[in-house]
């Protein structure tokens, strides 16, 4: 069923392993790319010529080296045709300031606090695939 292409942008290797594994095991994504920081992901995004090659969904961490989540977003807003991408902020931070700040970015669909459960992953992907079939 899953035709979803997901990007995980996070420097925590254990976290990315678990998310990747959960998506695969529950058949929630057919393609998963992992980036260790915002810069790598942004560079990849800028190389893509065709909108259909964009990911359907991005799970973005906040604290990362080189280019953190916020800095990635500051660049991301300049990406044309980014409306086809559903972006989630995923962080261990329960600092209310982070959550407040995320509301300032229209491109952020929601702010998810780690750990990410199978159920919330399913919800994220279901919403996204239903949007795709519309």
Partner 1 sequence: MDNSPPNPSLLQAPIAIAYLDKDLNYIIHSKKWCDDHKLNLDNIVGMNHYDLFPNTSKNWREVHLRVLSGCYESNAAEKFIRKDGSELWLRWSVNPTYDKSQIVNGMVMTSENITESMNARLKIDREHQLLLDASDKAKIGSWEISYLTGELYWSDVTKKIHELDLDYVPDVMSALNFYKPGINQEIITQMFTTSRLTGEQFDVDLQIITAKGNERWVRSVMKAEMFKGNCIRQFGTFEDITDKVTSDIRFKHASKKFHDVFEASGVGMLVIDPIDLKITQANPSICELLNFDQEHIKTASLGEFISKTEFPVLFNSVTDLLNKKIDHLTIDINLKKSTGRFVICSIVGTLIEDENGDPVDLVIQIVDISEIKKKEQELKTFTSYVERQNQRLLNFAHIVSHNLRSHSSNFEVLLQLYQQETKEADKNSIIHLLNSSSTQLSETIDHLNQVVALNTDKIELSTIYLKENIFKVMENISTNIKTNNVNVDVDVDDDFTIDASPAYLESILLNLLTNSIKYRKKNVQTRIVIKAFKYNGKCRIIFQDNGKGIDMKLNGHKVFGMYKTFHGNADARGLGLYMTKNQVEAMGGSIRVQSQIDVGTTFKITL
* Calpha distance 96→21 (Å, rounded): 29
Our CB check for partner 1 shows the closer of 54 and 116 to be: 116
Rule CB under 8 A: is residue 95 a binding residue for partner 1? yes
Our CB check for partner 1 shows the closer of 52 and 97 to be: 97
Helix (H, G, I), strand (E, B) or coil at 57: strand
Rule CB under 8 A: is residue 65 a binding residue for partner 1? yes
Shortest distance, position 18 Cβ to partner 1, whole Å: 4
Q: Judged by CB under 8 A, which of 54, 92, 127, 129 binds partner 1? A: 92
Are 55 and 79 in contact by the 8 Å Cβ rule? The answer is: no
Rule CB under 8 A: is residue 116 a binding residue for partner 1? yes
Q: Judged by CB under 8 A, which of 33, 93, 110, 120 binds partner 1? A: 93
Strand 57-60's sheet: what is its strand order? 31-35, 5-9, 57-60, 86-91, 108-113
Cis ω for the linkage preceding 115 (within 30 of 0)? yes
* Calpha distance 35→112 (Å, rounded): 18
Binding stretches for partner 1 (CB under 8 A): 11-12, 14-15, 17-18, 21-22, 25, 36-37, 39, 63, 65-67, 71, 91-95, 114-116, 118
């Amino acid at each position: 069923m899953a035709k979803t292409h997901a990007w995980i942008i996070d420097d925590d290797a254990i976290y990315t392993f678990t998310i990747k594994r959960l998506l695969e095991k529950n058949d929630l994504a057919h393609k998963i790319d992992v980036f260790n920081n915002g810069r790598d992901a942004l560079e990849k995004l800028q190389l893509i010529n065709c909108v259909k090659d964009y990911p359907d969904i991005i799970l973005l961490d906040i604290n990362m080296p080189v280019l953190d989540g916020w800095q990635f977003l500051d660049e991301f807003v300049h990406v044309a045709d980014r409306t086809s991408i559903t972006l989630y902020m995923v962080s261990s931070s329960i600092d209310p300031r982070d959550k407040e700040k995320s509301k300032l970015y229209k491109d952020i669909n929601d702010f998810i606090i780690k750990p990410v459960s199978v159920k919330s992953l399913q919800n994220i992907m279901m919403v996204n695939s239903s949007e795709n079939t519309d």
